[in-house]
Amino acid sequence: MAASETQLYVDKHVAYIKSLGDNKDDLTYHMTAHLRMNAIYWGLTALCIMGHKEALDREEMIDFVMSCWDDEAGGFGAHPDHDAHLLATTSAIQILVTHDALDRVDKARVARLVILSLQQPSGVFAGDSFGEIDTRFSYCAVNSLSLLGCLSDLDVEKTVSYIRACRNYDGGFGNCIGAETHAGQVFVCVAALAILDRLDEVDHETLGWWLAERQLPNGGLNGRPEKLEDVCYSFWCLSAMSILDKLSWIDSDKLISFVLSAQDSEGGGIADRPGDMVDVFHTHFGIAGLSLLGYPGLIDLDPVYCMPAHIIEAMGLRKGWKALPRRKT
């Protein structure tokens, strides 16, 4: 369990993800129902990257996703009988695309009536009709519209202008105008700009430098200056770095060791940092990060959509990102 871990326990992680649905007699399982759709997306994507997509039943998963459709609001909730939200809607679309089952939804309806209706006059997107705004929701909208093949319905300049207004002097982005740069928001803003072919809005050298400075002496990455490392930033920082072709600017060996040291070698799963409780969120982002770092035996991850790269390529949506070459051993 210590920093001496030298391999990824694929079988344990697959078993851990498979077991997540077996805990229906556990209070925590029910207390996290509001995250179910996202959790399924995280679990499925991690399985795909480990080459074990078949570990969860496809039909059962598609049925679950469709049972979360909220016909009144339009859009997907995180769980049956939960309200529609852009976060759950994006995960639902990503799951359906991964399973080649997008024909189950009325794409034009989701794109126009659901997603585009959430764009605010400022150009940012709200998460639902209650109006919370965040650049995360702009990314969800851009990502989903792109996967639905409806990007041409989007007012690109208006969308970009809000993201531009969130840019700070350190090259990074915050979650709304005036907010501090945060690695998670850097991921969503840079990836949204990548999808919109507007990376000219990014100061590549300054942001690359800010991202490289996220690496701490123990190899892990933090999300803001003078904060602690956390496995989830391994994906958020690395995604932006691979889009900007700056992955070589940090020590990938040390980061790989850090992510591996956060594994639970007995029960499977990855935690935020060594010795902590594992969860599917950190398991997914840890494995996603390892894929971008060229960890041997993993499937390529598309850092823009955070989905298996071959699926995005087959749809003709691949952008010009660069991951590290896949290692042999």
Partner 1 sequence: MHGARRTRQTPEAIAARKQREQSKLKDYLSLTEDVIARRKKSDWSKDSFDLTTRVLQINPEFYTVWNYRRNIMSYGLFVESSPESINDLLSDDLSMTTMALKAHPKVYWIWNHRRWCLENVPDGPGDSHDWKKANWNRELAVVEKMLDADARNFHAWNYRRYVLANMPERRPEAAELAYTTRKIEANFSNFSAWHQRSKVYTSLWESGQLNREKSIRDELELVKNAMYTDPNDQSAWLYHRWLIGSGNDREILESEITAIEELLEEQPDSKWCIESLVHYKRLLIKNHSAEFGAEQTKGLLSQCVSFLLQLQTLDPPRRNMYQDIVDTLSAT
Q: How far is the CB of 62 from partner 1 (least distance, A)?
A: 22
302 binds partner 1, rule: CB under 8 A: no
- Nearest residue to 298 via CA among 329, 265, 257, 262: 329
Report whether 324 contacts 247 (CB < 8 A). Answer: yes
Cα–Cα distance measured from residue 281 to residue 286, given in angstroms and rounded to the nearest whole number = 8
Q: How far apart are CA 72 and CA 65, in angstroms?
A: 16
Binding track over 237-276 against partner 1, x by CB under 8 A: ---------x-xxxx--x---------x-x----xx--xx
Q: Which of 208, 220, 268, 308 binds partner 1 (CB under 8 A)?
A: 208
Beta pairing, strands 278-279 & 270-271: antiparallel
- Which of these, 134, 133, 199, 210, lies nearest to 171 by C-alpha position? 210
**Minimum CB distance to partner 1, residue 5 (Å):** 14
Of the listed pieces 5-13, 111-119, 206-214, 294-302, which binds partner 1 according to CB under 8 A? 206-214
Q: Is 105 left (phi over 0), alpha (psi -120 to 50) or beta?
A: beta
Footprint on residues 33-92 left by partner 1 (CB under 8 A): 33-35, 77-78, 81-83, 85
Q: Comparing C-alpha atoms, which of 28, 309, 102 is closest to residue 89?
A: 102
Shortest separation between residue 19's beta carbon and partner 1, angstroms: 12
Stretch that binds partner 1, among 57-65, 99-107, 209-217, 320-328 (CB under 8 A): 209-217
Per DSSP, the three-state class of 14 is helix
Shortest distance, position 266 Cβ to partner 1, whole Å: 7
Structure tokens at 37: 């759709």
Question: Which residues contribute to the site for partner 1 (CB under 8 A)?
Answer: 1, 25-27, 30-35, 77-78, 81-83, 85, 128, 130, 132, 168-170, 175-176, 178-182, 208-209, 212-213, 215, 224-227, 230, 246, 248-251, 254, 264, 266, 271-272, 275-279, 282
